[in-house]
């Protein structure tokens, strides 16, 4: 009883800011630790013939310009409007799926959570839906109520995404969506739906999305720290998982057909 009274007297902004800080610091520490723990490749002793071959290879590469690790620097520079604002980073159909390193996971986490406009635009949209529905009903209308709903959505998202990033890093799971290597509307749609529930581990084997849905559940539970009482933490976590199932499948579908959507919208703008 005393805990509930104290929690109700703490301002909403302080409670959400505390959760923000804890989630971000935890994710940053684990991702930084993973990058430090990546062992360097042991040196190899080459024969004279191998050394000559390597030297020829180096000269050839120098003549052709700098070489980039596929999926590294180019990974975080999406070139289309839908990648920068809505979908975020994904593995294109013609791109090789290479496991992320610690620093790359950290960069992806920051882009997905804090440093891109899309990370906030989506929460602004969902907060607008909550405002129109009047939920939670204890929060007022107007800009003040919208600000509370946006802060709540943003806090839950950061908590969920931080927990998911921690889990994916610990399990060595792939956090990005990869476009289907298939043809046809139905096979691609099926791939988009299934990839919302399974992902790849470091050995490129499909595994359930434990971290993604665990993060969604945890974000829903954590959100009860600032949402008006009474709140059932497990019910909030369950609703968050259902929301991920629906929203994640829709987002994957959009990413899968992003090229077609981009071309159609681009052609329409060009005609205008």
Q: 201: alpha, beta or left, given left = phi > 0 and alpha = psi -120 to 50?
A: beta
Q: Are 179 and 92 in contact (CB under 8 A)?
A: yes
Quick one: tokens of 224?
Answer: 């009860």
3-state secondary structure of 210: helix
Q: Report pLDDT for 272.
A: 56
Cα dihedral 155, 157, 159, 162 sign:
negative
Strands of the chain, DSSP E: 198-200, 206-208
For residue 207, which phi and psi values (nearest 5 degrees)? Answer: -140, 155
Nearest-angstrom CA–CA distance, 90 and 100: 12
Question: Does 111 sit behind a cis peptide bond, omega within 30 degrees of 0 on the bond before it?
Answer: no
Among 61, 115, 42, residue whose Cα is nearest residue 84: 115
Distances (CA, A) of 182 to 39, 185, 198, 205, 233: 35, 9, 17, 18, 41
Q: Report pLDDT for 119.
A: 84
Cα dihedral 37, 38, 39, 40 sign:
negative
Quick one: tokens of 270?
Answer: 């060009």
DSSP 202: T
Q: Are 99 and 172 in contact (CB under 8 A)?
A: yes
Q: Report pLDDT for 33.
A: 55
Burial class of residue 80, CB neighbours in 10 A (0-12, 13-18, 19+):
middle
Q: Report pLDDT for 115.
A: 87
Q: Report pLDDT for 169.
A: 97
Quick one: tokens of 203?
Answer: 């050995």
Beta-carbon contacts of residue 111 (< 8 Å; ≥ 6 apart): 76, 88, 89, 119
Quick one: tokens of 73?
Answer: 């620097």
pTM over 0.85: no
- pLDDT (tens, 9 = 90+) of the chain, 272 residues, equals 434 444 445 555 545 555 555 555 555 555 555 545 545 445 444 455 555 555 544 433 343 443 345 544 455 544 444 455 667 889 999 899 999 999 999 999 998 999 888 889 889 999 999 999 999 999 998 999 999 999 999 999 999 999 999 999 999 999 999 999 999 999 999 999 999 999 999 999 999 999 999 999 999 999 999 999 888 999 999 999 999 999 999 999 999 998 888 777 755 554 55
CB count within 10 Å of CB 38 equals 10
Q: Which residue has the tokens 């806090």?
A: 155
């Amino acid at each position: 009883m005393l805990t509930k009274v104290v929690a109700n007297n703490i301002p909403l902004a302080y409670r959400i800011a505390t959760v923000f800080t804890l989630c971000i610091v935890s994710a940053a520490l684990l991702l930084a630790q993973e990058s430090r723990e990546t062992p360097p490749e042991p040196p190899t002793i080459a024969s004279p013939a191998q050394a000559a071959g390597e030297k020829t290879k180096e000269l050839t590469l120098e003549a052709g310009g700098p070489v980039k690790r596929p999926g590294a620097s180019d990974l975080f520079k999406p070139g289309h409007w839908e990648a920068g604002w809505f979908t975020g980073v994904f593995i294109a159909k013609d791109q090789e799926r290479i496991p992320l390193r610690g620093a790359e996971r950290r960069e992806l986490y920051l882009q997905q959570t804090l440093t891109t406009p899309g990370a906030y635009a989506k929460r602004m949209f969902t907060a607008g839906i909550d405002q129109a529905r009047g939920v939670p009903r204890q929060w007022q209308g107007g800009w003040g109520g919208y600000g509370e709903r946006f802060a709540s959505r943003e806090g839950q998202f950061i908590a969920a995404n931080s927990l998911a990033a921690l889990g994916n890093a610990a399990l060595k799971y792939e956090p990005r969506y990869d476009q289907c290597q298939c043809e046809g509307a139905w096979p691609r749609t099926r791939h988009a739906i299934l990839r919302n529930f399974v992902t790849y581990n470091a050995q490129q084997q499909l595994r359930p999305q434990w971290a993604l849905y665990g993060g969604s559940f945890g974000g829903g539970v954590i959100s009860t720290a600032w949402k008006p009482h009474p709140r059932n933490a497990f019910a909030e976590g369950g609703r968050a998982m259902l929301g991920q199932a629906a929203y994640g499948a829709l987002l994957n579908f959009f990413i899968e057909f992003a090229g077609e959507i981009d071309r159609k919208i681009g052609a329409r703008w060009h005609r205008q």
